[in-house]
Structure 1
C-alpha cells in the first residue's frame, strides 16, 4: 500500500493511549481512572469533522471511548465525534458493520471476535480481517467523509448494517434500494450545563454503494421491518444485502454533516466524488505526511521518533471542523438554526481548560492560518450566543472545568501576530465575561464565569461560595488562580487597544492570586469571606477548593507573575526548594494540566539545570510505546503537545507572553518548517547518549545566554545549537 512508503506516517502509533497505561509513571497515578488516556485509532485528516475508528464499545456514554485495545468484540466502524483523550461523550455518530452468511441485526449476534492479527492502523488507513465473517475490511477518509472497502474472502451473502448510535432511542434512518443509498441522523444532546437537553443539531450521514442491493430493510431491537425508514426506537438500523464472490470487493462511500442529510451527500460529492479507495488513501497520506513533516526529526532513536510523531498526531485531532463544504454550520447554542461562513472554516470541540496551555500554542507555531480560524470561530460563538464560551463542545455552552481560557487563547494568538479577525469584537465579548454576571437563565445555561460576583467582590472566591451551578463545584482557590491569569491575558489586549482604565483594573486583578496565598504555610489555601483560612490544611491531599490536584501542586500556577510568586515564597532559592520538595515527594502529577509548567519553573531559580533533569525524566516515565504509551487522559492532545514541545527543547509556560522556557532537546536534530517559509534547525551536540544538561547554546552563530526564547525569534528561523553534557554545570 502507498502508506508503507511514507517517511514519517509510519512512526505514528494510533493505538497509543487506547489501553491502561504501561508507562513507568503509571504506578504512581493517584486516580486510577486517569490510567486510561481515552484516545482512539482515528482515521481522518488533521482537524477533521469526523474520525473513523474500529468500534469495541456500543454506547455514546460519557467517559466511554468507542474503542479500547483490549476489548474482545468488534462491532463495526464508527463515524465518531469523540473528543480524543477525553472523559466527555461521543455524539452524532453512526456505525457501519459488514457481516456475512445469514442476516443478524443484534450486536451480540453479529459481533466479531476481535484479534489484532492482520491488523494495520495508520492515521490515514485501517485494515482488519474478520475471520468469523470471512471479510477483509479497509477504511480511509477525507475531512468530512469516509470510504470503506470490503473484500469477500469466500463466496457468500454479505450484509452491511448501518446503526445510528443514540443512547436515548432517538434518531432516523432510511433506505433507497433503487438508488443504492442509506441515510439518516443521530440527534445530539448536551452534557454538563443543560445535561440531556437537545444540542440543537444532529449528526447526519449519507451512504452510497456502487453495487445494487439484493435485499434491504430496517430494524429495531432485532426485529426486521418491511419498510424504508424507521425512527425513534431502540437500536434502530438499516441493512443492505449483496451477493459477493470470493475476491469481489464492495465499496461503501459515506458523507457526514452537522446540518442535513443533503449536506452530507454534498460533502461526499465534493470531497470524494467517485474516486476509488486508493486515490482517497493517497490524498490523505499526503496530507498527513505534509503535516508531520513540519517537524522533521533526524536521530537514531527510533523509539523516541515513534513517541514524538504519535504525540504530533494526537495533537492534530481537535478542534473539530464543523462547517460543510458550502460553509453552512449549526448556529452555536442554537435550536436547529444554521449559519454560513465564507472564505473561512468554523470549528468546535475546544477542550479549552487543557489545550490553551500547549496544544493551541503548537497550532499557533506551526499553523497560524488555522489558529486564525479558531479565534474567529470563538468570536462567532460569542456573537451568536451572547457570551464568549468557556469550554465550547458539541457546539454549545458547557461551563465545564474552570477558568475563562478562551481569553488566554485569543491573547496568546493576538500577541503572536495572528490577527486576521476583529479584535475589538473579541475584546468586547471577553470583557463581558470578565466584568459581568449573566442573568439566571443564561448562567444556568452555562454562560459566563462561575462565581464571578464573589471574585469581583472579594478579589478571590471564598469558601462561602460553593459554586452550585457548575459541573465542577467549589474549587474556589483554583478558580481564583485561573481567573487571575485570564485577567492578565485580557489586560495585555486592553493595553494594546489603548483601554487604559481596563488595563489598570485587570492588571490589579491579575494579582488576586496573592489573596489566597497563605504565608504561614507558603502555599495557596482555601479562604472564607471574613479572611479566615480553611481548616485543617493538608498540602498534599485532594481538597475541595482545588481542581484535580492538591494545594502544593496548584501553588505553582502563577505563570504570568513568577517574580511575584517568588517574592511570596521568599526568593528564588526558596522556589527551588519548594520545587525540589514537590518532586522528591513524588507529588508532581503530569495528568493535572495546571502542573504542566512546573518542571520548567526551575528556570526561575539558581539551578536551571533541574528543568532539564525533570523534563527528561518526565518524557522517559510518562510516555512510551504501544497501546499503553500514555500515562493519563490525553485531553484533546494537551498531554501530547507537552511532549512535542519538551522534546524540541522549549515550552510555553505563559503562552500569552509569546515566550518559551528552554530546556534541552531530545533529538540530535529537528527541523521546523514555518508557514512564513523560514526553517529552524535545532541541533543537540551530545557528549554521550546520557547528555541532557546544557553547557552552552548558540543561536545563528552567537552565544545565547537567556533561559527563554521568544516566538518571533523562533519564526525568524536559522540554527539553534545546544551543547549537552552528562552532568549539571558546576554552581
Structure 2
C-alpha cells in the first residue's frame, strides 16, 4: 500500500477544544486549499449535517437541480460520511437532497470540479462570492469573480466544460451570487478555477498553465502523484495499520503549512499592499509561528531544506515591507497573536544546521528589531510600553496582584499580560539571537542577549519550586497557586497553560533549569510529579479554567504546544527510559485514526509534526541546537530521503508495542552513550540503530555528572 493511501483527512475533524481539522484538498504548500463548506456555526466539521458548497478562490460553487430555488443563498444538501471520499488530492461526496455527485481536486493555484446531475435538463450551478464582489460572465464558457477580502484583492477565473447562461442573481447579508443554467450533456459539468491575488489576467494564466487540456481524472492523478512523492520521502516498515494511517496523515498535515503565493515570478504582499517580483523563489505565507517553531519547521527543514530557506527569506521580505518580523503571517499581513519572537528560533535553527541561503544579515537585523523596538505584549503590535521598559530594566514582565486593576492601556483585555510566559518565551528567543550575533561577530550584542536569555531565573521561586509571577516592586505575587493561578487559561501569568507546564519552558538552558530545581534527581522528581499531579477538588473546575489543556496526563497537556518537549526532558536525568515510556503512552492515548484522533488544536500541523518526529524516534527539543533527543520509535525501520542520494535511517531492532525501551544505540555503528544524535550525522545520511526490549535498560543514556552534552561539542 502506498503512503498516500494511508492518509485519512477525516482524522481530527472533531476537535477537543476550539477547532477541528477539515478534509483539505491541496498540494504540499499549495496556494489553493479546498474543503467542503459545511453548516455555519458547527465547528466540528465531521458533525456538520449539511454541505453549502465548495470553495473556488474568492467564490464558491453549489450544484443544484432546481432552476429557481426559493433561497439560493441558503442552498445546501444533506450528506453521509459513508458516501464520502476524502484524500489529500481529491474529495467526493453525494449531495443527497438532489442526488448530485460532487468532486473536487487541486493543482497549486487552481482547482478542478466535477458535478454529475441525475436530471441533465435541470442542471444548474449557484456561484457565490463576497457581498462586495462581482461575477462577470465573459462568455458562455468562462467567468471572472472579483472581490476584496481582508483588504486583499482576490480574483477567480472560471472555465465551464459546457455552455452556461445566467438566469438570476441573489444576495444575502454576507454573500451575493448568481444562478447559472448548464447545458450538462449526459448530466456532467466540469468547472476549472484559477485564483490570483494580482489580477484577473494572472488568474486566467494560472488556470491555463496548470489545467488547460487536462481532464478531471488527469488533474486528480497529477495531485495524487505529487502527494505520493512528498509523503514517500519518509518510508516506514512495521507498526500497525492504524499507526501507519496516523503517521502519514500527520505527515500530510505537516506539509500544508506555509503556502507559496508567488505567481509566475510575482506576488502580492499584504505587508505593504504592493506587487513584487519574486524571482525564482517563492513567497510563503500562512504560519502559526508560536505553534510551529517547535517541531513543524524543523521537520520541514529536514525533509526540504531548500524550500525552508525560501520560507525564511519570505519572512525577511515581510520585515523589509512592514518593519517587523511577523508572528502569524497571512495573505493579508500579520496577525500579532500569541507571545514571543519565535521567528528568531526558526531563523537560527536553519543557520546553525548549515542552511544559509537567505539574507542572514537582514534576518539578524529583523530579529533584533523585534527584540528591542516592538512590544512584547501578547496579541498586540506596537512600540514599547511601560511593561517592556520594566522588562528591559529589571529582566521580567511585572504581574498584577490579585484584584489589582490593569492600568496599561495597551494590554489586551482578554489576553491579559501573560507575564511569566512572555518573560520565559523571550528568554529563549533572546538566546537564539545571541547565538546568531556571535556567529556574525556582534560580540556586544551576544553578551547583551545572553544576559537576557537568563531572565528566566528572575521568575523561579525557590520557595515553591515553580516559575512564578512577580509584581513591579519585585515581590512575589501573594498566594500564587501554581495549578490554578492566573485566571482563565492562566492568562494573567501564562499562555493557555499553568505553572506546572511553564516551569519547564527553558528549552535553551535545561542544564541551568536543572540546577535551579536542585539537580538531576530533584528535576526528575518534578517531571514525575507533573505526570501524576491531579486537579485539586475537581477536574471539572480545572478544565473550566484551562480549556486549552487537552490531552491530559496529570498536569501534562499534550493538546497544547508548550508541553511538547517536556517528555523528552528525562533524557537530561538518570532515567531516559522514562522518556521512552511516556512517549509511547502519549502516542497510544492521544493519537488515533478517528475523527477525534488529534487531542488539541492542530494549529497548521503543530500537533501532527510532533507525532511524526516521535513515531520516528527522535525530536528537536531546542530548535537552535543542532541535535535531536532519542525517544521510542514505533516502526522497525524508517528511511528519510534527504536529497542528493542521502538517506537517514532509523532501525529499531525488535521493536513492538511491548518492546518500547532502548537497550543500546549506535550511530553509524559507533555506540551511543547519550540519548541524542547530532543533526549533521542525520543530515549526512547516517544510520541510527536502536536495540529495543520490553524492560528498561536503566543504565543506557543516563546523564552523568558532566551533563547531558558532555561529548557533543556545539550541540
In the alignment, structure 1 residue 564 sits paired with structure 2 residue 512: yes
In the alignment, which of 76, 101, 118 is matched to residue 53 of structure 2? 76
Change (3 A) 1:467 1:679: farther
Which residue of 457, 460, 469 corresponds with 2:396?
Answer: 460
Q: Given the superposition, is the C-alpha separation of residues 103 and 349 from structure 1 closer, same or farther in structure 2, using an over 3 Å criterion?
A: same
Question: TM-score if structure 2 supplies the norm length?
Answer: 0.89
Q: Name the CA distance, whole Å, in 2 between partners of 1:277 and 1:284.
A: 11
Q: Pick which of 201-210 and 600-609 moved more.
A: 201-210
Structure 1 residue 727 corresponds to structure 2 residue 695: yes
Q: Report deviation, 1:404.
A: 0.4
- Determine the C-alpha separation between the residues in 2 that align with 1:134 and 1:340: 47
Query: Within the alignment, does 1:402 sit opposite 2:397 as a pair?
Result: no
Displacement of 1:445: 5.1
Decide which moves more: 578-587 or 147-156.
147-156
Determine which of 454, 468, 473 is the counterpart of 1:530.
473
Query: Which residue of 2 is the match for residue 479 of structure 1?
Result: 422
Query: Is the aligned partner of 1:218 residue 2:169?
Result: yes
The answer to whether structure 1 residue 258 and structure 2 residue 235 are counterparts is: no
Give secondary structure in 2 for the equivalent of 1:203: strand
Structure 2 residue runs of 5 or longer lacking an equivalent are 401-405, 487-491, 534-553, 700-715
Determine if contact 2:65/2:119 at 8 Å carries over to the other structure.
Answer: no
Larger mean CA deviation between 114-123 and 341-350 belongs to 114-123
Deviation at 1:444, TM superposition (A): 6.6
Give the TM-score, by structure 1 length.
Answer: 0.87
RMSD (Å) for aligned C-alpha atoms: 2.2
Determine helix, strand or coil for the equivalent of 1:462: coil
Instruction: Report matched runs for 1:151-170 at 5 Å.
Output: 151-164=116-129, 166=130, 170=131
Instruction: Summarize the Cα distance change of 1:235–1:348 in structure 2 as closer, same or farther, 3 Å threshold.
Output: same
1:677 to 641, 645, 649: 645
Q: Which residue of 1 aligns with 2:549?
A: none
Residue 135 of structure 1: aligned partner: 100
CA contact (8 A) 2:73 2:170 kept: no
> For each residue in 1:632-687, what CA deviation from the matched residue of structure 2 results, as whole angstroms up to 9, or x when unmatched?
10111010000000001111110111111111211111111102320122111126
Establish whether residue 53 from structure 1 lines up as the match of residue 35 from structure 2. Answer: yes
Corresponding residue to 1:206 among 144, 153, 157: 157
Partner of 2:551: none
8 Å Cα contact 2:56-2:156 kept in structure 1: no
d(CA) in 2 for partners of 1:253 and 1:105? 27
- Change over 3 Å in CA distance of 1:418–1:103 after alignment to 2: farther
Contact 2:634–2:655 (CA under 8 A) maintained in structure 1: no
Q: How many angstroms apart in 2 are the aligned matches of 1:384 and 1:492? A: 26
* Contact 1:463-1:526 at 8 Å conserved across structures: yes
Instruction: Between 208-217 and 402-411, report the one with greater CA deviation.
Output: 208-217
What CA distance in whole angstroms lies between the structure 2 residues aligned with 1:339 and 1:503? 34
> C-alpha deviations, 1:167-206, integer Å up to 9, x for none?
xxx42122316342232234222xxxxxxxxxx3133211
What's the offset of the Cα at 1:110? 2.6
Q: 1:348 aligns with which of 282, 285, 289?
A: 285
Give the Cα separation in 1 of the matches to 2:409 and 2:461: 22
C-alpha displacement of 1:309? 0.3
The residue aligned with 2:316 is: 379
Q: Check if 1:368 corresponds to 2:305.
A: yes
- 1:717 maps to 685
Q: Is this contact kept in 2: 1:648–1:670, CA < 8 A?
A: yes
Give the number of aligned pairs: 666
Give CA-to-partner distance per residue, 1:318-365, whole Å, 9 cap, x none.
1122222x2322224234x22221110001111000000000110110
Structure 1 residue 122: deviation in Å? 0.5
Give the unaligned 5+ runs of structure 1: 1-5, 22-32, 81-92, 190-199, 222-232
Q: Are 2:592 and 1:597 aligned?
A: no
2:523 to 575, 596, 601: 575
1:173 to 117, 126, 134: 134
Distance 1:275 1:659, change over 3 A: same
- Distance 1:451-1:204 versus aligned 2 partners, 3 A rule: farther
Distance 1:376-1:240 versus aligned 2 partners, 3 A rule: same
